Amino acid sequence: MADPPLLTTRSDELAPNLACLVPAGSHAYSKAADQWPAVGPRILAHGRGSKVWDVDGNGYVDWFPGLSSVSLGHAYPAVAQAVISRLERGHNFQLPTMAELEAASEFLETIALAEMVKFAKDGSTVNGGALRLARFATGRLRVAKCREHPFFSYDDWFIGTTRRCGGVVPAVAALTLEFGYNDADSLAALFSAYPDEIAAVILEPVRFDEPDPVFFPEVRRLCNENGTLLILDEIVTGMKYHLNGAQRLYGIKPDLTTWGKGIANGFPLAALTGPRHLMRLGDTTQQDSVFLLSTTFGSELVSLAAMQATIGVFAADDVIGSNYARGAALREGLNTALSAAALEPFIEFVGRDCFFGVVTRDEEGAESRVFRTLLFQELIRRGVLFRGIFYPTLSHSDEDVERTVIAFADALSTYAAALESGPASFLVGKAIQPGL
Ligand SMILES: Cc1ncc(COP(=O)(O)O)c(C=O)c1O
């Protein structure tokens, strides 16, 4: 691990070249330069287990591997082996394959919640498919999405509701309504304002705030009463909170569920699952069907092999239990460092141990993006690639935890000094920008 300051010469040289060829220099808005502190790597080279290395050779403990899609660890051997073995036998054919049958049955058996599945390549696509299915099933057009959940899709129905609405069809975005998390009254108000018009309600089970025990039962009741489908977006939460999804943990009963990050250890695979009576509406061999998620690459077998290997490890090794334990140890160490520095009023960890975030506050106690950036900067300088969420995986070791706690304790001295005399002389460059 490099001590501060990092040498990131090559990274800084290459980043403008990438930005010259790829808009924002990134294929996801959340990986772009404005989402990171100015100090730190711009371009990574490779990863193994819990570590990544940048093009200058600096190594980092990676706490958000592949935006939390790499759920076992980088280059995880069992997954790599399964992928290589599949590659040697061909991986895309003009007819369905035996491997698709096995993959579908293993996935459904693992999540143990649904009767049918349709695979695709990304979360946006399966969310779009779920909404289309709901619109077809109900004969309605409006959808209601949770206001606090920051990202569902690059499609018009969602992105048209954000400030990044350029180029979308306004009429599509206008059909999207919003309600509040843990605020069933706001959903009830939508049903009153638009009776018999709402096809689907879509939300994540949890971000960092726990669901109020009455919230999901009430959402379910409202959906039942109004003939609306409940779509649970488990693209982030799936395979993190519980093997069967966070819905099992919280007793949520959705009609349709979407999965993505984490089910194939970073390989491009997403899934829509649901009961047979709904999913069959996407059967294009029938006259009256919805055109549901028909893609050339949906059943590409490398990602399915990666998924089977990934869920095999998850199911056999109580990976989620061990992630919770690793997260708890990390959190305890971080909180001990915080209290030793007497900085508890300014930094707080939120969420469950399997996936927890940080809230950073300024000297007035107000949430602060500048202080958030400063904390990231100081951790990155000390070899911890951190962007606000700790996602412990099977590859994270006791040593990673120890290193991170030491880096954090050390970073706190800069945080404390910035609280004392203002962050301007400590933060290099600009604060990270809001993503959407
Ligand atoms: C909750 C949630 N839903 C959907 C998506 C979209 O997934 P993808 O980036 O695979 O299209 C994301 C992506 O970050 C997400 O966080």
% the chain with pLDDT above 90: 95
Question: What's this model's pTM, rounded to 2 decimal places?
Answer: 0.96
CB-count burial class (<10 Å; 0-12, 13-18, 19+) for 408: buried
Residue 208's nearest CA partner among 148, 146, 162 is 148
**Residue 114 corresponds to which tokens in the numbers above?**
């649904």
Residue 248 DSSP SS3: helix
Read off the tokens for 115. Answer: 């009767």
Kindly report the protein residue whose alpha carbon is nearest to atom 2 of ligand 1.
Answer: 152
Q: Is the CB of 127 under 6 A from ligand 1?
A: yes
**In the numeric block, which tokens belong to residue 277?**
């009576």
* 204 in contact with ligand 1, CB cutoff 6 A: yes
Band (pLDDT 50/70/90 cuts) for residue 5 is low
Separation between Cα atoms, residue 242 and residue 374, nearest integer Å = 33
Contact 40, 380 (CB under 8 A): yes
pLDDT at 270 over 60: yes
pLDDT of residue 72: 98
pLDDT confidence of 38, banded at 50, 70, 90? very high
pLDDT digits (tens, 9 = 90+) for 144-161: 999 999 999 999 999 999
Query: Hey, whose CA ends up nearest to atom 8 of ligand 1?
Result: 123
Per-residue confidence (pLDDT) for residue 32, from 0 to 100:
94
Distance CA 328, CA 352 (A): 9
Enumerate residues 6+ apart whose C-beta is below 8 A from 345: 361, 365
* CA 375 – CA 360 distance, rounded (Å): 8
Ligand 1 midpoint to CA 152 (Å): 5
Indicate the residue type of 323. N
Beta carbon of 148 within 6 Å of any ligand 1 atom? no
DSSP state of 436: -
The reply to whether ligand 1 has any atom less than 6 angstroms from the CB of 400 is: no
The angle formed by the CA atoms of residues 412, 417 and 423, to the nearest 5 degrees, is 100
Residue type, 3: D
Q: Is the CB of 124 under 6 A from ligand 1?
A: yes
Q: Does residue 159 contact residue 215 with C-beta atoms inside 8 Å? A: no
Q: What is the DSSP string of 171-232?
A: HHHTTEEEEBTTBHHHHHHHHHHSTTTEEEEEE-S-SSSPPPTTHHHHHHHHHHHHT-EEEE
Q: Is the dihedral of CA 25, 158, 201, 219 positive or negative?
A: positive
Determine whether the shortest distance from the Cβ of 123 to ligand 1 is under 6 A.
Answer: yes
Residue nearest to atom 3 of ligand 1 (CA): 152
- Answer yes or no: is the C-beta of 151 below 6 A from any ligand 1 atom: yes
First to last CA, the chain: 33
Residue 126, pLDDT score:
98
pLDDT tens profile 276-324 = 999 999 999 998 899 998 999 999 999 999 999 999 999 998 999 999 9
pLDDT bracket for residue 1 (50, 70, 90)? very low
Cα–Cα nearest to 253, from 113, 106, 404: 113
198-203/142-146 β-pairing:
parallel
CA 378 – ligand 1 centroid, Å: 28
Show the tokens assigned to 37. Answer: 């502190």
Residue 4's pLDDT is 54
pLDDT of residue 287: 87
pLDDT at 154: 96
Say yes or no to pLDDT of 2 above 50: no
Tokens encoding 93:
């054919």
Q: What is the pLDDT of residues 76-103, one digit of tens each?
A: 999 999 999 999 999 999 999 999 999 9
Tell how strand 142-146 and strand 176-179 pair up: parallel
- From 27, 261, 355, 436, the mutation candidate for ligand 1 (largest count of ligand atoms within 8 A of CB) is 261
